[in-house]
Amino acid sequence: MNDAKEAKASLRQAALARRDAMPEDVRIEASLAVADRCAELLPITPGMVVSGFLPIRSEIDIRPLMMLLADRGARLCVPAIVDGRLQFRHLVRGAPLEPQGFGTYAPGAEAAVLDPELMLVPLAVFDRQGGRIGYGRGYYDSAIAALTQKGAPPILAGVAFAVQEAEAVPMEPHDIRLPMIVTERETIRPDAG
């Protein structure tokens, strides 16, 4: 393992321990605060494709935000893991979900595959420069790069609890910085100032 990977693993472990230590009621309230903050910030237009995610373990729960965005006309999708890559499948209320590994679920292979115009990006760790550490597989960096190569770079908004912040995230060439990170306490815009 190289130095950057070791540093990322150490930061991930510490941040996830802090997240896991949050009492459930505090996580619920913080998730709702992030939903409120995002609802005010995100530029949703009817028919816009928005990728969210279904929470795993103690992860932030953005389902209330996703439902609010759907009520505003957004077409929701969530990631499915297909051949080692993310495929964003249309999420329709009441449609059955299938396990994807890692403790998460997504619509089955019959669901429409969509290209997100706005991505709500999960993360394990973040810093004030827009650095992000995910869960170590690089799925989101690859998906964002693929959409950008197609000429459709998505709007990116990282969502997390404030306790997941680190002073500095080591960045490798393939890592994509986030222009916006929303927590229950604040919205961080690295390029805004």
Mark the binding-site residues for substrate, compressed into ranges.
Answer: 54, 59
Contacts for 102-106: CB closer than 8 Å, 24+ residues apart: 102/56, 102/135, 103/56, 103/57, 104/53, 104/54, 104/55, 104/56, 105/54, 106/54, 106/78, 106/79, 106/80, 106/81
Binding residues: 8-12, 54, 59, 132-140
Binding residues for ATP: 8-12, 132-140
Tokens of 14: 């510490």
